[in-house]
Copies of this chain bind each other. A is one copy, B any other.
């Protein structure tokens, strides 16, 4: 166990995930350090301890990490070479650098699932567009399929659904994974944490509902409308995965449930995740507190939920770039159980995540009614 009073905890990234991590940490009297490009990023607004720098740059990560006791991340796209060096120098990196390396490459991720018999869709790896076109011609792959960039994808970017020849012009000309297009019944997600002692604890399964245009989660709901057996299977896979990769930290796993009832891992992220935001207002322990507990070798908290919850992302309007505004905020606060989380971003951009709203209610039907009220207020006042 680290001495929470004197040990320094650093986090790569000062966006909303870092901000919410800091808010949860403050309750335990802990004030983390941040590395990100600008000190007025969301976490910087509530922390004095932000270093301006680039977390994809070897030197920046190295010099930021050298005086920290524990280093963690809010995004996978960080300089893992620097993290490997820091690990050698005795800095505790959680999740470990090799886990971040594995997960930030969607190609390696898929190979890992296959080698370790975790259920996932069929795939082939490609170096460039020409290779893909060749395989399309010779029939090794066929429409429809999904192309994902191996690295740099985020929030639905770097993912292309290729339905017919007409779409093939847009194919990425970079190292990519081609996956079969799965006939999806539901998208599900589970967050699991594991500490040094090897204890794991997963949060309840949530169901994700997507906005088809933005290719981002529209809202997610706990409890998922799902057989218990499938929920248990999701959580059991999450536990096994945490053990298999020897995780210290937190891991989000997104699943497809196919129309034929098959459960497939879509992808995973070794960090707090959008799909875990419901835990902030619905569970005894939030994912952010759980992350802190896991990396500090503290006992994991109870993930039990006290209430059903719907989580709605607040995205920048698709026709506006400028100062972020929330004119609908007073109106939605009239509704019982509406808990906004605004990230403090200065600028709104199309589909940019500006915040999220947790809606809690003991009654499932009222939950959906209140969601629709919130959406209509936001639509009318934006």
Is A45 part of the contact surface with B, judged by Cβ < 8 Å?
yes
**Which residues, 180 to 221 on A, are CB-close (under 8 Å) to B?**
none
Q: Is the CB of B329 within 8 A of A28?
A: yes
A143 to chain B, nearest CB (A): 44
Is A340 part of the contact surface with B, judged by Cβ < 8 Å?
yes
Q: Is the CB of B333 within 8 A of A284?
A: no
Q: Is the CB of B31 within 8 A of A45?
A: yes
Given A329-B4, A342-B29, are A284 and B48 also a contact pair (CB < 8 Å)?
no
CA distance A119 to B155 in the complex (A): 59
Q: Is the CB of B27 within 8 A of A340?
A: yes
Is A26 part of the contact surface with B, judged by Cβ < 8 Å?
yes
Stretch at the interface among A109-117, A126-134, A222-230, A298-306: A298-306
Q: Collect the chain B residues with CB atoms within 8 Å of residue A341's CB.
A: 27
Q: Is the CB of A333 within 8 A of B48?
A: no
Q: Is the CB of B344 within 8 A of A29?
A: yes
Is A375 part of the contact surface with B, judged by Cβ < 8 Å?
no
Contact mask for chain A residues 313-351; partner B; CB cutoff 8 A; 1 contact, 0 none: 000000000011110011001101101111110000000
Question: Considering the complex of A and B, which 9 residue pairs feature the smallest CB-CB distances, nearest first?
Answer: A29-B342, A299-B334, A302-B336, A1-B330, A46-B46, A299-B333, A306-B306, A27-B341, A298-B330
